[in-house]
């Protein structure tokens, strides 16, 4: 316990008082939705201007939330893969809490947590990447993206004119497509 307590502060989200091992999905959802507020709010405002119907507004909010999370998850994958050589691992290096990091932490045994914290403290990012690969975290994040895209599409099904629905489905599907296969 001493080692874990000593290094707990190493990986705290900026402006957050939560330690790494107490993060939950509710915290992550709030964090991700706040990171993507501009896009969500733009979409919501557009529909508000066109329609003054509470049910439609709620549908758009739920759709927007799923798209926001899927888009942020895609960005997280790019941080580990596509942009690794340029800005590589910036979220991890800056101590930001991400869903991939959350999934990794959830998968760790107590022994692995100790090594993880030591690697983090020592900035041994290659060991951390190996751990992400071993635990198949990217694959888990891709499943989350699929879930949010599928849910977003279900939320809007038969709720808008077909042309609008097609545009919204296409927008959602964009979160499933990468410029290259995401691999660590």
pLDDT tens per residue across span 99-135: 999 999 999 999 999 999 999 889 898 898 899 999 9
**Binning pLDDT at 50, 70 and 90, where does residue 140 land?**
very high
Q: What is the DSSP letter of 160?
A: S
Q: Which domains does the chain have, with CATH numbers?
A: 22-176 (1.10.600.10)
First to last CA, the chain: 31
For the entire predicted model, the pTM comes to 0.75
Instruction: Please give the pLDDT value at position 21.
Output: 78
The answer to whether 149 touches 70, Cβ cutoff 8 Å, is: yes
HEC readout, 25-45: HHHHHHHHHHHCHHHHHHHHH
Over the stretch 32-90, which tens digit does the pLDDT of each residue have?
A: 777 665 566 666 666 655 666 778 878 888 998 999 999 999 988 888 776 555 556 77
- For tokens 């959830």, name the residue: 106
Instruction: Please give the pLDDT value at position 37.
Output: 59
Count of residues making up the chain: 184
């Amino acid at each position: 316990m001493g080692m874990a307590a000593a290094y707990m502060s190493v990986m705290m989200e900026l402006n957050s008082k939560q330690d790494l091992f107490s993060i939950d999905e509710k915290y992550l959802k709030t964090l991700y939705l706040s990171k993507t507020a501009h896009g969500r709010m733009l979409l919501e405002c557009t529909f508000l201007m066109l329609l003054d119907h509470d049910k439609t507004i709620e549908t758009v909010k739920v759709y927007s939330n799923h798209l926001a999370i899927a888009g942020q998850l895609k960005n997280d994958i790019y941080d580990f893969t596509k942009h690794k050589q340029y800005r590589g691992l910036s979220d991890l290096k800056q101590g930001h809490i991400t869903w991939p990091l959350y999934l990794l932490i959830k998968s760790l045994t107590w022994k692995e947590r100790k090594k993880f914290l030591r690697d983090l403290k020592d900035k041994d990012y290659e060991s951390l990447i190996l751990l992400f690969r071993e635990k198949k975290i990217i694959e888990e994040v891709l499943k989350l993206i699929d879930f949010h895209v599928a849910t977003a599409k279900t939320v809007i099904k038969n709720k808008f004119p077909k042309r609008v629905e097609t545009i919204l489905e296409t927008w959602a599907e964009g979160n499933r497509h990468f410029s290259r296969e995401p691999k660590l």
